[in-house]
Amino acid sequence: MLIATFGPATGWNGKTITREGDAFILEGHGPISAADIMEHDRQGNLVWANDGTRAWVGAKATGPWTSRAAAPPTAVASAAATRPTSQARAAPGVANRRPALPRRAPSKRLLLTVVAGLIVVAVIAAAVAPRLLHGGGNLTPTQIYEKHVGGVVEIQTTFPATYDIWGEQTGGGEALGTGFVVSKDGYILTNAHVVSENGQAVSTVTVIFNGGGSQGRRVQGTVVDADESHDVALIKVDPGQTPRLVPIPLGDSSKASVGEAVVAIGNPLGLGSSLSLGVVSATNRDLESPNGATISGGIQTDAAINPGNSGGPLIDATGHVIGINFQIESMSGGNEGIGFAVPINTAIRVMKQMMKADALAQ
């Protein structure tokens, strides 16, 4: 049953509100609460087409409402189309309305119904609001890639050579990893093992912007700090030497759920700006860090992760980073569908401490 039509004062101009049982349905949107309808009525955004239903709505919501404006011909015609023919012929104007019935105190059953409805709405809002705040719902892998590939970087590092007591070289060489931009002033998040090894820091860091229209743009970076116990490191570059820095938004790893879709963007085996798709296979895994410490709350995924992906973002369907890809479980040394990520909540906590110390040192 049609009860109202939106006027030109809103973005919903011409859309209708109908009633199906106890539910109000906004055309092209879905269920809408009686309280929302009353609010639009107060602001003069609704053209009422059915006074009987309007009075019923008033009983479902609290508070006064304004007098309805005369329905334009289009609204009356729409209302008539939903009524029996005999009722359409006698569609009343404002002047022909029946006198409003005196209001009665709401019954206890009605109040309980309203309270129950508000609870349901609150539960739905609590579940939907985070995703609405994160961009309005799920993104496709292509959309995630196009939106965030410019914020994912390749990290090439050089370790200084070390020698044993016999003069044989035991360390040094080059390493490859991934990182991602977390601030416009040049901070890049990655894994500690990308920039340090057994407490030995790298001698050089080169950050390469392979995506976002800046193919192969190379800049020098400095290691702000590296925490091997959590396998988190922070690199900083000069924004004046880089393409426009677009940080990738950070999510909440405690909300990750088994089965939800995720993507990993990185540089596996040196193949820049690669995307792999999978799901969260498990949560709350205990992971072993490079120095043997335990990282709790780890995320397991079947998204393909290979050497070179370390330090890259694991991104959920809302486009938010929920983990830093850091190791695989493999019998062959390659991807076998068991990868792990440091939870982003842990990384954020460590990162904030590093940023604070860096700001004090400047």
Which residue in the list 193, 276, 281, 316 is annotated as catalytic? 193
The DSSP bridge pattern shows strands 16-20 and 2-6 to be antiparallel
Are 242 and 209 spatial neighbours (Cβ–Cβ below 8 Å)?
Answer: yes
Q: How far apart are CA 270 and CA 276, in angstroms?
A: 14
Active site residue 86: no
Which residue in the list 41, 225, 227, 231 is annotated as catalytic? 231
Two tokens, residue 10: 């809103």
Which residue in the list 134, 196, 310, 320 is annotated as catalytic? 310
**Residue found by looking up tokens 């020098």 in the block:** 220
Q: How far apart are CA 75 and CA 2, in angstroms?
A: 9
Are 329 and 285 spatial neighbours (Cβ–Cβ below 8 Å)?
Answer: no
The DSSP bridge pattern shows strands 23-26 and 274-288 to be unpaired
Q: How far apart are CA 247 and CA 222, in angstroms?
A: 18
Active site residue 40: no
**Ranges of H-type helices in the chain:** 34-42, 51-60, 73-81, 85-89, 108-133, 141-148, 192-195, 344-361
Residue among 254, 255, 253 at smallest CA distance from 325: 253
Q: How far apart are CA 19 and CA 362, in angstroms?
A: 63
H or E element that contains 84: none
CB within 8 Å of 42: residues ≥ 6 apart? 63, 64, 65, 66
- % helix / strand / coil in the chain, to the nearest 5? 30, 35, 40
Two tokens, residue 197: 């090894």
- Cβ-based neighbour number of residue 253 at 10 Å: 27
Q: How far apart are CA 147 and CA 139, in angstroms?
A: 10
Active site residue 229: no
Report the catalytic residues: 193, 231, 310
